[in-house]
């Protein structure tokens, strides 16, 4: 799509992740920059008001102090069990077309949010373990992945699964003084530490964000009209999603080799 659209000056938004391989991502990045087009990536979680509230609490209000740990969990029972159509199922469970199974399909969410929260920084290392717990449904790809990202002063743990009995997209952020829990799209909790294991807690039920920040198509249109300029490391940005693909590439290699992958500076 980008190879066709970029030379014609047509802006592009793709569904997550940006690309199925680092090679493809680099080609897309080069074409977008050469031809001056916007190349955005859509994630369902980009439009969650809880994730933006959590970001503001952590990065703008510094409510919990410096980040030390991020945990992101995404997934469901698996594409076959939730009844996706046959064409989509074939694509999701094809390691060539999808780049992997759950490690790609749901690992990208945590990589995207972690990159955003860490202000675009690439992790120092990526370690991943993948499993195939439903071989009868996903014979060619993994359906369970745990990815660990290390930064200079923080760690991110991404739990991507096609085996959660209840579908989920949630996040926990731990700092020096407390923690933020984005439990789902609308429910968020802030805990501030008190003593050894005590805490004060505030709970929030958030409404949808105001247009065009509540919908991918409205947002994309606003970007094209120059009404919005995405920040360099926003969840939809090309810069963020190049890091995401690099993380996923390293995660797949780590899982295959059983080794931690150290990213080049």
How many domains does the chain divide into? 1
What is the structure's pLDDT at 230? Answer: 93
What is the structure's pLDDT at 175? Answer: 98
**Burial (CB count <10 Å: 0-12, 13-18, 19+), residue 194:** exposed
What is the structure's pLDDT at 31? Answer: 98
Q: Are 143 and 132 in contact (CB under 8 A)?
A: yes
What is the structure's pLDDT at 264? Answer: 87
Q: Look up the domain containing 179 and give its range.
A: 2-262
pTM, 2 dp? 0.97
Which residue stretches of the chain have pLDDT < 70? none
What is the structure's pLDDT at 60? Answer: 87
Four-CA torsion 106, 6, 221, 235, nearest 10 degrees? 30
What is the structure's pLDDT at 265? Answer: 80
Helix, strand, or coil here: 258?
coil
| Distant-in-sequence contacts of 210-214, Cβ < 8 A, 24+ apart | 213/47, 213/52, 214/47
Query: Which CATH number fits the domain that encloses residue 224?
Result: 3.30.360.10
């Amino acid at each position: 799509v980008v190879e066709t659209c970029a030379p014609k000056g047509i802006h592009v938004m793709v569904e997550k992740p940006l690309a199925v391989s680092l090679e493809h991502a680099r080609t897309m990045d080069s074409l977008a920059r050469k031809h001056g087009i916007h190349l955005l990536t859509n994630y369902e979680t980009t439009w969650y008001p809880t994730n933006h509230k959590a970001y503001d609490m952590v990065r703008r209000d510094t409510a919990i102090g410096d980040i030390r740990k991020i945990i992101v969990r995404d997934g469901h029972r698996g594409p076959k069990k939730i009844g996706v159509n046959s064409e989509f199922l074939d694509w999701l469970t094809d390691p060539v077309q999808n780049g992997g199974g759950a490690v790609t399909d749901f690992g990208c969410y945590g990589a995207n949010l972690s990159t955003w929260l860490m202000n675009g920084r690439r992790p120092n290392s990526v370690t991943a373990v993948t499993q195939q717990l439903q071989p009868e449904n996903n014979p060619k790809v993994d359906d369970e992945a745990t990815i660990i990202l290390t930064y200079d002063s923080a760690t991110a743990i991404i739990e991507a699964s096609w085996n959660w009995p209840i579908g989920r997209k949630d996040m926990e952020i731990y700092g020096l003084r407390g923690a933020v829990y984005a439990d789902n799209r609308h429910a968020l909790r802030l805990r501030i530490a008190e003593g050894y294991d005590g805490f004060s807690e505030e709970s929030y039920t958030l409404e949808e964000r105001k247009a065009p920040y509540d919908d991918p198509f409205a947002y994309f249109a606003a970007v094209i009209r120059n009404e919005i300029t995405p920040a360099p490391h926003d969840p939809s940005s090309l810069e963020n999603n190049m890091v995401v693909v690099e993380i996923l590439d390293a995660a797949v290699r780590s899982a295959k080799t059983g080794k931690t992958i150290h990213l080049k500076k």
